[in-house]
Amino acid sequence: MPVFRYKLSSRPGPLTVEDYRARARRAVPDMVWAYVDYGAESMTTMDANRAAFDRYMLKSKVLTGHEATDLTTTLAGQDISVPILLAPTGAAGLSHWTGELGAAQAAERAGTLSIVSTAASYSFEEIAAGTERGHFFQLYPWADLTTGRHDLTHAMMKRVEHAGYSGMFVTVDVPTHGNRESEQKRGMGNPPVLTPKRVLDAALRPKWWAAFLKHQRMSLRNLIDPGERAGGARTAMKTLSRQFRMMRPELNWDDFAWMRENWDGPLYIKGVLDADDAERAVGLGADGVVVSNHGGRQLDCAVAALDALPAIADRVGGRAEVLLDGGIRRGTDIVKALCLGADGVCIGRPYLYGLAAAGPDGARHVVEILKSEMRRAMTLMGVANLDDLDASWLIPAGAPVPIVGR
Ligand SMILES: Cc1cc2nc3c(=O)[nH]c(=O)nc-3n(C[C@H](O)[C@H](O)[C@H](O)COP(=O)(O)O)c2cc1C
């Protein structure tokens, strides 16, 4: 029996989401990195999303005698092995050519599901054909005021229903495009701007570059007009500008009510930070609310998602599912969100890091890392079930543990 294992390199494989982030940074060109990793304006909200988690510490109880920690749950009517869904991220084909298809396959292999973006690099039908389970569909409500208010949205809803998607997430925090200056400075505006320096930067990542050119996943496949060629830069530009046109400030609660009337499956509203808005959505028939500021990519200086969570969970929890996204990078972050009233969380950038660094295997590994961190944290806290997590497990960071019964 050997005592030591010898390896030529002493560098361990990626063990954390942050390890995947570092690898992803090296794997993709600057332009793509800016699109994935940066946020709006001064990135105040993006940073606040992370900082909010650090304001809480976790209590632990010893000798509780729990044998196993159960992470299984049901979200939007689907059984999953851990309360983590993959958040919709448009143009994931830029991070890795397998894009949203690779992400959905990774989610399945990790025992969970993906929410597929309207702005995906793969069509809803391609993803349905390449996966086993009914994933969720994210709608950018595209009000087409020239042909009739909901024609295009309706057509898309019918498409995904036909393809077997099991729930719809309507994103409402994009009435206009967030001001992501850091992206623009690196050439990722509308349209993207290539310079010789940027082409060279891409060429210095030969693996990424070769796959990018070979698989042509630049265009947003759900936004291609019938008869249009799927690959090619021209279609990519056209679909990108169509995506910008989808953002309509005139959308209102009547539109949301219309969506409820026209969609039979579970309906979630994504991008809510205000308890009155959450209440209104649930009053109109929403089955769930995603507390989210779009990962700090939309309104800069919007409240951190975790800080918005308790009031929303207090108002609609129990009547509707409450999910949270923004800034989750550790299993303990998920535990804290659940303690503050979330039924589950979504992750965006973390699985894109995995995808960029190591394809679908990397994305799957990221979910497995968070799952195992979460399980370990709950075991160390002495909590056996997700339902047992509540605010009594949290202590404000830096505050002394309250002295009770003195
Ligand atoms: C590159 C990228 C693309 C995104 N595209 C979409 C999208 O198409 N639709 C949507 O509702 N949210 C989109 N989001 C927001 C995510 O769904 C999610 O709210 C956010 O990433 C959560 O924050 P996190 O990245 O810190 O986990 C995108 C996020 C990123 C990073």
What's the mean pLDDT in 148-165? 89
Ligand 1 pocket mutation, candidates 18, 138, 291, 297, criterion most atoms within 8 A of CB:
297
Q: How confident is the model at residue 259 (pLDDT cuts 50, 70, 90)?
A: very high
Q: Which residue pairs, CB below 8 angstroms and at least 24 apart, start in 175-179?
A: 175/247, 175/248, 175/249, 175/251, 176/247, 176/249, 177/244, 177/247, 178/39, 178/40, 178/294, 178/297, 178/298, 178/299, 178/300, 179/40, 179/41, 179/300
Ligand 1 pocket mutation, candidates 46, 89, 171, criterion most atoms within 8 A of CB:
89
Question: CA of 381: how far to CAs of 6, 60, 334, in Å?
Answer: 35, 4, 14
- Is the minimum distance from the CB of 328 to ligand 1 under 6 angstroms? yes
User: Which of 180, 1, 107, 10 is closest to 348 using CA atoms?
Assistant: 107
- Is the minimum distance from the CB of 178 to ligand 1 under 6 angstroms? no
CA of 258 to the centre of ligand 1 (A): 25
- Is the minimum distance from the CB of 87 to ligand 1 under 6 angstroms? yes
Question: CA of 167: how far to CAs of 51, 160, 261, in Å?
Answer: 31, 9, 14
CA of 87 to the centre of ligand 1 (A): 6
pTM of the model: 0.95
Residue with CA closest to ligand 1 atom 15? 294
Q: Please write the tens of the pLDDT for every residue from 178-196.
A: 999 999 999 998 888 999 9
Domains of the chain: 17-393 (3.20.20.70)
Q: Please write the tens of the pLDDT for every residue from 353-375.
A: 999 999 999 999 999 999 999 99
Enzyme catalytic residues: 294
Q: Please write the tens of the pLDDT for every residue from 213-247.
A: 999 888 888 887 777 777 777 787 777 777 777 77
CA of 282 to the centre of ligand 1 (A): 23
CA of 326 to the centre of ligand 1 (A): 8
